[in-house]
Structure 1
Amino acid sequence: MAEKKDKQVDFEQSLNELEALVERLEGGDLSLEESLKAFESGVALTRQCRDALTQAEQKIQKLSGNGEDTELSPFEEDEDGESN
């Protein structure tokens, strides 16, 4: 059970770090080099968060589906880049 809590903390921590990076970037006070580093970190954090959310969604599908016969599929994104 501690592992699940660690993953949740990791997701929350990654999300908080991502929000802080966005605020720094929006502030416009970073040099180009700092902005690029922050952007690169933001991309990595976004991927971590997306992976965690995908795993959670797949687990929910499996738990609410028809047992082991449930086929898991990736999210489909609409034109705005939002998952359906």
Structure 2
Amino acid sequence: MPTKKPSVDFEQSLSELEALVQQMEQGELSLEESLKAFERGIGLTRHCQERLSAAEQQVQTLMEQQGEMRLQPLDDTESEGE
């Protein structure tokens, strides 16, 4: 079954979210505009989280298929030699 392509990609959602945050931080929006922006921001945040989760699952699946399933910390600065 083919996967449905998202209507808005991650980068677009993140960019729109950043723009909304900037607008809200400036404090020039009315209460109604702020509430609408906040509501839109929540939706964008959820969309970004879902896309990141899907990407993580895809990477994990690919690693399992290659027989390379091993978890490694993102920050290698905590090695035994320190």
Q: CA RMSD in A?
A: 2.1
Displacement of 1:65 = 1.9
Displacement of 1:10 = 1.3
Higher relative CO (CA 8 A, sep ≥ 6), structure 1 or 2?
Answer: 2
Which segments of 5 or more consecutive residues in structure 2 lack a partner in the other structure?
A: 70-82
Matched, 1:29 2:19: no
Which segments of 5 or more consecutive residues in structure 1 lack a partner in the other structure?
A: 71-84
Question: Of Structure 1 and Structure 2, which has the larger fraction of its residues in helix?
Answer: 1
Q: Distance in 2 between matches of 1:17 and 1:66?
A: 35
**Identity between Structure 1 and Structure 2 (%):** 59
TM-score by length of 2: 0.68
> Which aligned runs of 4 or more in structure 1 are off by greater than 6 angstroms?
none
Matched residues, number = 63
Q: Distance in 1 between matches of 2:37 and 2:63?
A: 39
TM-score by length of 1: 0.67
Q: Distance in 1 between matches of 2:15 and 2:65?
A: 35
SS of corresponding position for 2:9: helix
Q: For the pair shown, which has the larger CA radius of gyration, 1 or 2?
A: 2
